[in-house]
Amino acid sequence: MREEEIIDAISRVEVRTGRERTIKSYVLRSTKLDEEQKKIVLENYEKYAVTFRGEMTEPGALFAHPSRPVIIEIGFGMGSSTQIIARDHSEYNYLALEVYLVGFVKLLRDVSRLQLDNIKLMRFNAVDVLERMIPDSSIAGFHIFFPDPWPKKRHHKRRLIQPDFVHLLASKLKKGGYIYCVTDWQEYADQMLEVLSGEPLLMNPYEGFCPPVSWRPMTKFEKKGLDKDYKINEVWFERR
């Protein structure tokens, strides 16, 4: 790819449909890359990133080892737990989605340093990626760690975990595939449990919240929550 193509690919994060403004689960902070960040992007984009295309794509084909099951992480932030999970679980491929440019560049740098061949990054709205690129019944799992809680009532509609979005996630899962969400916001945790329980394609193998998952490393958000004595709730559902 030429330099302009790479810069163009990371500059656009959503599909513009011409419809009136749709509700977004994120706020975009405008960021100008410094020289160091630009260098990281130009050197690593082609090897470790995927450009959004509005056509269905076999997810395994994006990776060096196409037969490994694909896990999608939504909203990886700075990617600190993402890279550890990918490093420790080479039996899976990870497609990591985030719109936050600083986090995207940071994880791009980290995965290139670790030379991981089982992770690809996309700077794009997860809703568009799932709707337009990911075929039904093709994904082994979803990770959604500490999604923005949007605490004010008038903002609750911006939360990711809503019935329509959960149905979209469930339809992309293979039979037995999982959705694993974690939050430190009690009322959002209750909403997650309620919404996922209400999706007919999913079943909860646990009674309510699931026990802590041992392989998930602690993130900055989690530590902040724990420092404030917030309870961490984890939710694990599987595709019927």
Ligand X SMILES: C[S@@+](CC[C@H](N)C(=O)[O-])C[C@H]1O[C@@H](n2cnc3c(N)ncnc32)[C@H](O)[C@@H]1O
Residues that bind ligand X (CB under 6 A): 25-26, 74-77, 97-100, 103, 125-127, 145-148, 160, 219-221
Q: Which of 8, 148, 227, 229 is catalytic?
A: 148
Let me know if 184 is a catalytic residue.
Answer: no
**Cα–Cα distances in angstroms (integers) from residue 65 to residues 121, 225, 234, in the given order:** 16, 37, 30
CB of 19 to ligand X, least distance (A): 16
CB of 45 to ligand X, least distance (A): 18
Exposure of 66 in the CB half-sphere (CA atoms within 13 A): 6
Beta-strand pair 139-145/233-239: unpaired
Q: Is 67 exposed, middle or buried (0-12, 13-18, 19+ CB in 10 A)?
A: exposed
d(CA 18, CA 138): 29
**Residue with Cβ nearer ligand X (175 or 228):** 228
CB of 134 to ligand X, least distance (A): 13
d(CA 75, CA 22): 18
Cα-only R_g, the chain: 17
Active site residues: 148
